[in-house]
Amino acid sequence: MGGFQGFITEILANRSTVGAIAPSTPMLAKAITKPARDSIGHRRWLEVGPGTGVFTRRLIGALHEGDHLDVVELNSRFCKHLRKSVLPVSGSQVTLHEGSIEEVNLQGGYDGIVCGLPYNIFPTHVSRSIIRRLVSMLKEDGTLSFFEYAAIRNLRQVVGNKDMKRVSRWHARFVERLQDDMDSSRELVLMNLPPAWAVHLSPKKSMS
Ligand SMILES: C[S@@+](CC[C@H](N)C(=O)[O-])C[C@H]1O[C@@H](n2cnc3c(N)ncnc32)[C@H](O)[C@@H]1O
């Protein structure tokens, strides 16, 4: 398992939870983990939906003494792979939680949360509750980072059935509202299959 072939096997077996056509590239990993890596102090990071660990490797490579990374993955085969091939170099600085982000017990107060979930294929109430939970687990100056495949939403609006179009409009509005309510930035990563936006959201700084 691991790499492209293992990922494809899991996609075919778990379409409703893996939701990608290939693992993300190192270029997307670099863009999506940037705010977490740039944070300072004894950092606490959370990664949700690591899959084969493309983002995890990048985060582990940036761990300093005193930092800690929680990783939450639902799929037991991905967890097995992470335990065997990705996490050993990190010792006790990384904790893998096998289960759903909706259920695992986490303390919150994170400097950086990197979300690799295919949230826009989840039912709308599930996406809303997961993203709200992640936002609530951020520190005041923390950042939630996730990715969206570029143009996929527009494509769904053209070729999707009625339900797909409705859900896709809902996700577009939900993300727009989050970007309005929070400080946001995004970076287009062309070297990914398909190209993707890395989106970063932080609680708005108070004006006082
Ligand atoms: C689109 S893949 C992304 C994998 C990797 N981050 C990447 O970009 O290559 C989504 C990952 O989220 C995991 N996942 C889906 N639902 C989840 C949930 N509720 N809690 C935790 N992980 C979940 C899947 O098993 C899969 O590993």
What are the pLDDT digits (tens) for 80-108?
999 999 999 888 999 999 999 999 999 99
Residue 208 lies in a domain: no
**Nearest Cα residue to 140 out of 104, 97, 183, 85:** 183
Residue 83 lies in a domain: yes
Residue 24 lies in a domain: yes
> How many domains is the chain partitioned into structurally?
1
Residue 58 lies in a domain: yes
Task: Say how far apart CA 208 and CA 206 lie, in whole Å.
Answer: 6
Residue 37 lies in a domain: yes
- CB 149 less than 6 A from any atom of ligand 1: no
- 168: number of Cβ within 10 Å: 19
- CB 20 less than 6 A from any atom of ligand 1: yes
Q: How confident is the model at residue 8 (pLDDT cuts 50, 70, 90)?
A: confident
Residue-level pLDDT at 206: 67
Retrieve residue 172's tokens: 């577009």
Retrieve residue 192's tokens: 């990914």
- 190: number of Cβ within 10 Å: 11
- Ligand 1, closest atom to CA 100? 20
Residue-level pLDDT at 98: 98
pLDDT tens column, 30-73 = 999 999 999 999 999 999 999 999 999 999 999 999 999 999 99
- CATH number, domain of 40, equals 3.40.50.150
b/e for 81-109, b at 16 or more Cβ within 10 A? bbeeebbeebeebbebbbebbeeeebeee
- Greatest mean pLDDT range, 85-94, 119-128, 170-179, 180-189: 180-189
Structural domain span for residue 85:
3-201
Rounded to the nearest angstrom, the distance between the alpha carbon of 207 and the centre of ligand 1 is 36
Secondary structure of residue 46 in the 3-state scheme: strand
Residue 25 lies in a domain: yes
Residue 206 lies in a domain: no
Predicted TM-score (pTM) of the model is 0.92
Percent of the chain with pLDDT over 70: 94
Residue 174 lies in a domain: yes
Q: How confident is the model at residue 3 (pLDDT cuts 50, 70, 90)?
A: low
Indicate which residue's Cα is closest to atom 15 of ligand 1: 17
- CB 53 less than 6 A from any atom of ligand 1: no
